[in-house]
Amino acid sequence: MTQPSIAQVSAFFAVYTHGSTVKAAKALGKSQSIVSANISRLEDSLGGVLFERANGRLRPTERANTLASHARSLLEAYQTFSAQGNSGGYKRFVIAAPRSLSMTFLPGIAKNLQQKNHGLILALQFLPYQQIINDVAEGIVDVGITKLPVLDDRVLVHPVCDAPSVVVMPKDHPLAAKKLLKPADIGQTPMIRLGSGLEYWEKIELAFNDVGIRANFTIEVGGVGPACRMVREGMGIAIVNQLMAAEYLEILDLTYRRFSPDVIHQFAWVSSPFSESTKLISQFGAALKQGMASLGLENT
């Protein structure tokens, strides 16, 4: 029996996760004909059909379902192995992240990568979390920073840190005298709310309700950056995650105190199992963990 090639395994897993040779080809950066040919060769090699067409999609057979987890592990191991020797020949490396990391955190990682890779062309894109995940899966960007949970099987998920919720305020605010802030400490202090329907805000409101306090939200904004700027203008305090808050403390001359009870935000970075920029992906992951550690955030 002819041994399957890594190209055939990549084609198989791409079709398995995307459901069609067209989408798989886009994720792989290959033509549809090459993907289809690799699937046919793999089926010949294994002696059986891996996909059946149903309702316009390629539905995996029972054997394909059995092989999928092995294919994923093989591709992850291949990327790790390739990263040890892959160098040079870079064209463009695209990183996606939420806009709240655009001020200092992500530019620092970009600088780290360029110092290690002469001639590297970087592109930074600032997108919503779900779009980051989708664009990595579709091969539009190489890596992205997002929040857990990630429920998309098309991407590899690398947990990176747990960020607690913190209360952001001016440095001379009376609440800054405390090291830890509870709902009873905050009381009716005007607060700036980030959006509505967010799971972590439901936990924060529950913490206030549990001690018989109705949180005094006076304004609602869509993002950590705008919220911190409102704080700077004296419009209230804001409860945000520590990772995002760190971007604005020095720039806006603010401070923060940890909120209790703990409301934790879990962050991860995602990559595609089909990316060929294995060395850069490995370096990005290392630089990201180093950056989280510099902020005092716990690596997971």
pLDDT in tens, the chain (300 residues): 577 888 888 888 888 888 888 888 888 878 888 888 888 988 888 888 999 988 778 899 999 898 888 888 888 787 776 655 554 455 689 999 998 888 878 888 999 999 988 888 899 999 999 999 999 988 889 999 999 999 988 899 999 999 999 999 999 999 999 999 999 999 999 999 987 557 888 899 999 999 999 999 999 998 899 999 999 999 999 999 999 898 899 899 999 999 999 999 999 999 988 887 888 999 999 999 888 888 888 666
Please say whether the beta carbons of 289 and 160 come within 8 A: yes
Distances (CA, A) of 162 to 9, 106, 238: 34, 18, 19
> Using N-to-C axis directions, what is the helix angle for 21-28 and 32-46, rounded to 10°?
110
The residue ranges of every structural domain in the chain are 6-83, 93-161+266-299, 163-263
Candidates 1.20.140.10, 3.40.50.1100, 3.40.190.10, 1.10.3980.10; correct CATH number of 93-161+266-299? 3.40.190.10
Distance CA(40)–CA(165), nearest Å, equals 51
Nearest to 10 by CA among 132, 127, 108, 139: 139
Q: Are 155 and 137 in contact (CB under 8 A)?
A: yes
Q: Which CATH architecture has domain 6-83?
A: Orthogonal Bundle (1.10)
CATH topology identical between 6-83 and 93-161+266-299: no
pLDDT attached to residue 197:
55
DSSP letter at 299 equals E
d(CA 232, CA 225): 11
Q: What CATH homologous superfamily does 163-263 map to?
A: Periplasmic binding protein-like II (3.40.190.10)
254: number of Cβ within 10 Å: 21
286 residue type, one letter: A
Q: Which pairing describes strands 191-194 and 217-221: parallel, antiparallel, or unpaired? A: parallel
Report the alpha-carbon distance of residue 201 to residue 238 in Å, rounded: 11
Residue 116: half-sphere exposure toward Cβ, Cα within 13 Å? 16
Q: Whole-angstrom Cα distance, residue 156 to residue 274?
A: 10
Q: How far apart are CA 64 and CA 25, in angstroms?
A: 18
pLDDT at residue 85 in the model = 52
Q: Which phi-psi region, left, alpha or beta, contains residue 218 (left: φ > 0; alpha: ψ -120 to 50)?
A: alpha
pLDDT of the residue at 43 = 87
